Amino acid sequence: MKPQGIPPTTTRISQTKMSFRGKNAVVTGGAGGIGLQVSKQLLAAGAAKVAIIDLQDNLEEFVKLRAAHPTQSVMIVKMDVANKKGVEATYEEIAKTFGNIDIVVNVAGIFNDKDVQRTLLVNLGGIINSTLSALPYMGKDNGGKGGIVVNMSSVVGLDPMFIIPVYGATKAGIINFTRCLANEKYYQRSGIKFVTVCPGATMTDMFTNFTEKIIFPETSDETYRILDRLNKQSAADVSRCILNVLEKDKNGAVYVIEGKRVYPLEMKPQWTGKEQAL
């Protein structure tokens, strides 16, 4: 599944690790899937401290993480990203423990189009809650060092897929939210860069009981046909690409991740009537 408008040039995954050495990072949805793989990649690349925010438990993997990186700090916080006040308190706790936050990777998300409110609150609300809660501890205008926030959307936030309209709407919202924060005026003040990544089909728990979570059951047969045709990548593939995106450090960029590669997108303005400057 490849959205329209992807330029022919692609970027292969970089193996450079030094840029993460000594950095402090937060990963939402880090108990499994892409989030867990991102946490592993950051620690392997030399991050000093990694905080994982997730409502789910994965004690076995957390024990392995700490055992594999005994000189680095792995902080686990059980929290629902849809809980705004809880997320704010979580970031306050992380900042007190870490001292500063350099990197945030927001991965937490669910798929259940039948539960519209929960999907909106977790997928879009959770990204917004985590991002805005991190800013006071990262922004140079508030005593921080600046940094970078990577928010995970999806290719279905770029190109509509009729079988998952609610999920797709949340992912489209993430792209717009993140690009808004990447405004140069904000960056000059805060020193924080904002990037969006849009993975293609990825083997995660999202595909479990997929047709039981779609809005229109009459599309089940077509849904199975679509899922069978998708070229699926692994969570580890996506995580390596996310680290590559972090290394690029390009404010406002939007990337598709598919087939173990990172594709930068050119997001052209569509609204010609807006003022050039506020």
Would residue 167 show up in a list of annotated catalytic residues for this protein? yes
Q: How many CB atoms lie within 10 A of CB 198?
A: 24
Helix residue spans in the chain (DSSP H) = 33-44, 59-68, 84-98, 116-119, 125-138, 165-181, 184-190, 220-229, 235-248
Cα distance between residue 118 and residue 48, in whole Å: 34
For 39, the token pair is 């946490």
For 144, the token pair is 């921080």
Cα distance between residue 122 and residue 139, in whole Å: 25
Annotated active-site residue in 91, 137, 167, 255 = 167
Q: Is there a contact between 76 and 62 (Cβ–Cβ < 8 Å)?
A: yes
Spell out the residues 6+ positions from residue 125 whose beta carbon is closer than 8 angstroms to its own: 81, 82, 84
- Residue 114 φ/ψ, nearest 5 degrees: -70, -30
Cα distance between residue 53 and residue 90, in whole Å: 8
Strand partners, 203: 234
Polymer length in residues for the chain: 278
Q: Is there a contact between 196 and 253 (Cβ–Cβ < 8 Å)?
A: yes
Q: Is there a contact between 76 and 68 (Cβ–Cβ < 8 Å)?
A: no
Distance of CA 191 to the CA centre of its chain: 19
User: Annotated active-site positions, please?
Assistant: 167
